[in-house]
Structure 1
Amino acid sequence: MRFLLLFCLLAFGHTKPYRPVNIMDFMKNYDIMMADSDDDDSDEEDDEDDYDDEDCPAHCRCSPRVVQCSDRGLISVPEKIPEDTEIIDLQNNGITEIKENDFKGLSKLYGLFLINNKISKIHPKAFRNMHHLRLLYLSYNQLTEIPANLPPNVIELRFHENEINKIQKDAFQGLRKLHVLELGANPLANSGIELGAFNGFSTLYVGMAEAKLTAVPKDLPSSITELNLDYNKIAKVEVEDFIRYKNLQRLGLGFNQIKFVENGSLENIPNVREIHLDHNRLKKVPPGLGSLRYLQVIFLHSNKINTVGFNDFCPKSASVKKNPYTAISLFANPVKTWNVQPVTFRCVTSRRAVQLGNFRK
Structure 2
Amino acid sequence: MEIRSLLLILSVCGPTWATTLDMDYGGVPLWINRFLGEPSVLTLRDRMEPGWFRAVNRQSCPLECDCPIQWPTALYCEYRGLHQLPEGLPSRTQYLFLQGNALTGFNSRAFAYASNLRWLFLDRNQVLSERFDHMLSNHTRLVYLFMNHNNLTEVPAGLPSGLKQLRLAYNHIEKIPPGAFQNLQNLTLLLLQGNHLKAIGEADFKGLPFLNLLDLSHNLLDTFPKHLPPSVQQLYLTSNALTGMSEDSLQGFNGLHYLRLSHNQLKNEGLAYGAFNVTSLVELDLSYNQLTEIPVVPTTLQYFYLEVNHIREFNVSSFCRKMGPTSYSRIKILRLDGNKMTHHQLPPDWPFCLRVLYNIYI
The bucket for the TM-score relative to the shorter chain is 0.7 to 0.9
- Stretches of structure 2 that go unaligned for 5 or more consecutive residues are 8-17, 39-53
Cross-structure match for 1:238: 246
Number of aligned residues: 326
> SS at 2:316's partner residue?
coil
2: CA distance, partners of 1:14 / 1:223: 26
Q: Which runs of 4+ in 1 moved over 6 A?
A: 10-16
Decide whether the 8 Å contact of 1:169 with 1:196 is kept in 2. yes
> SS at 1:67's partner residue?
strand
Decide whether the 8 Å contact of 1:204 with 1:224 is kept in 2. yes
Matches within 5 A, 1:205-284: 205-260=213-268, 261-267=271-277, 269-284=278-293
1: CA distance, partners of 2:181 / 2:22: 24
1: CA distance, partners of 2:123 / 2:328: 42
Identity among equivalent positions (%) equals 26
Relative to structure 1, the CA distance from residue 28 to residue 280 in structure 2 (aligned partners, 3 Å threshold; closer, same or farther) is closer
1: CA distance, partners of 2:295 / 2:267: 10
> SS at 2:186's partner residue?
coil
The question of 1:340 aligning with 2:349 is answered: no
Cross-structure match for 2:41: none
2: CA distance, partners of 1:34 / 1:253: 38
Cross-structure match for 1:305: 311
The question of 1:177 aligning with 2:182 is answered: no
1:194-230 deviation line (CA, Å, top 9, x unaligned)? 3301111230010011110101111111110010000
The question of 1:56 aligning with 2:61 is answered: yes
Decide whether the 8 Å contact of 1:169 with 1:194 is kept in 2. no
2: CA distance, partners of 1:313 / 1:131: 48
Relative to structure 1, the CA distance from residue 350 to residue 28 in structure 2 (aligned partners, 3 Å threshold; closer, same or farther) is closer
Matches within 5 A, 1:83-232: 83-121=91-129, 122-190=131-199, 193-202=200-209, 203-232=211-240
Give me the TM-score of the superposition, normalised by structure 1.
Answer: 0.82
Relative to structure 1, the CA distance from residue 157 to residue 264 in structure 2 (aligned partners, 3 Å threshold; closer, same or farther) is same
Relative to structure 1, the CA distance from residue 82 to residue 348 in structure 2 (aligned partners, 3 Å threshold; closer, same or farther) is farther
Relative to structure 1, the CA distance from residue 58 to residue 327 in structure 2 (aligned partners, 3 Å threshold; closer, same or farther) is same
Decide whether the 8 Å contact of 1:313 with 1:345 is kept in 2. no
Decide whether the 8 Å contact of 1:325 with 1:347 is kept in 2. no
> SS at 1:251's partner residue?
strand
Mean alpha-carbon deviation: is it higher for 336-345 or for 210-219? 336-345
> SS at 1:328's partner residue?
strand
1:112-169 deviation line (CA, Å, top 9, x unaligned)? 0000000113343311321111110000000000111111111111111000001122
2: CA distance, partners of 1:322 / 1:244: 25
Cross-structure match for 2:78: 70
> SS at 2:82's partner residue?
coil
Decide whether the 8 Å contact of 1:20 with 1:91 is kept in 2. no
1: CA distance, partners of 2:181 / 2:170: 19
1:278-323 deviation line (CA, Å, top 9, x unaligned)? 0000010002x1xx24310000110011111232223424455687
Decide whether the 8 Å contact of 1:13 with 1:180 is kept in 2. no
1:245-278 deviation line (CA, Å, top 9, x unaligned)? 22111000000000122101111x2200000000
2: CA distance, partners of 1:215 / 1:239: 13
Relative to structure 1, the CA distance from residue 69 to residue 321 in structure 2 (aligned partners, 3 Å threshold; closer, same or farther) is farther
- Stretches of structure 1 that go unaligned for 5 or more consecutive residues are 1-9, 36-48, 357-361
> SS at 2:67's partner residue?
strand
Give the superposition deviation at 1:12: 6.7
The question of 1:31 aligning with 2:34 is answered: yes
2: CA distance, partners of 1:349 / 1:140: 45
Relative to structure 1, the CA distance from residue 250 to residue 171 in structure 2 (aligned partners, 3 Å threshold; closer, same or farther) is same
Supply the AA of the counterpart residue of 2:91.
E
Decide whether the 8 Å contact of 2:299 with 2:319 is kept in 1. no
1: CA distance, partners of 2:113 / 2:5: 34
Decide whether the 8 Å contact of 1:312 with 1:344 is kept in 2. no
